Amino acid sequence: MAAVQFAAAGVLTGLLALATLASCNTDGDILYKQRLAWEDPNNVLQSWDPTLANPCTWFHVTCNLNNSVIRVDLGKAGISGPLLPDLGALESLQYMELFGNSLNGSIPSTLGNLTDLISLDLWDNLLTGPIPTTLGSISTLRYLRLYENNLTGPIPPSFGNLTSLLELKLHRNSLSGSIPASLGNIKSLQFLKLNENMLTGTVPLEVLSLVVVGNLTELNIARNNLDGTVRSSGLRVTAVIQDMRIA
């Protein structure tokens, strides 16, 4: 009987160990799946080995004390391919630095599930399609930089919920529609760059008020299809960049 109980205990211990391993390796499974979807001519992802218990020893990946991924740093790494929706399940991710590559396809709406995200840097890629409205639910975001892509459609009004944002840089895309008045809710905003798109209408007074009641130091709306002109109403603003129009 004792031998049977000992064997049963051993099996239970083994099952618990496997369950723990699987739990720890969830982030690694997601990143390895993403690796398989990318072209990696420079072999920067060579260390992303799925047989390890967790991805914390991989290059370009940083973990917290719980072995959960908090950073992915692959700026200017030469990678290409799509962003998988699975990335939205990296529950502890704080920094997604994928700028300066050749990433294509759309931005997955599931990235709005990254509720700890501080910085989303997808600038200078080949991304297309609309900006997901779900990104407006990431209240921790401080840096949202999606410029120099081929993004289309409107600027999501939900971005007005990003009340911790310091930089919103969407310039050099093909965005259309009006500038959401809700952006005026972001009193923390220091840089708002919307230039070189196809935006129409006027600049909302709520956005211009950030010059006085917020921390805005640069508003760039040049090279759009906006009506009228914009003037600075506060000395703190170092640059309000606009189209020059002749009456």
Comparison of pLDDT for 4 and 27, the residue scoring more: 27
Do 242 and 219 meet the contact criterion of CB atoms below 8 Å apart? no
Tell me the average pLDDT across 94-112: 98
Tell me the average pLDDT across 166-172: 98
Tell me the average pLDDT across 118-138: 98
d(CA 122, CA 34): 15
Q: What is the pTM of this model?
A: 0.85
Q: For position 223, what pLDDT does the model report? A: 96
Using alpha carbons only, what angle is made at residue 68 by residues 64 and 72, rounded to the nearest 5 degrees? 85
Region at 228 (left for phi over 0; alpha for psi -120 to 50; beta for the rest): left
pLDDT in tens, 52-89: 888 999 999 999 999 999 999 999 999 999 999 999 99
Tell me the average pLDDT across 132-141: 98
Band (237; pLDDT cuts 50, 70, 90)? very low
Q: For position 240, what pLDDT does the model report? A: 61
Band (239; pLDDT cuts 50, 70, 90)? low
Band (7; pLDDT cuts 50, 70, 90)? very low
Q: Which domains does the chain have, with CATH numbers?
A: 23-128 (3.80.10.10), 157-246 (3.80.10.10)
Of 115, 109, 107, 29, the residue nearest 70 (C-alpha): 115
d(CA 167, CA 215): 11
Band (103; pLDDT cuts 50, 70, 90)? very high
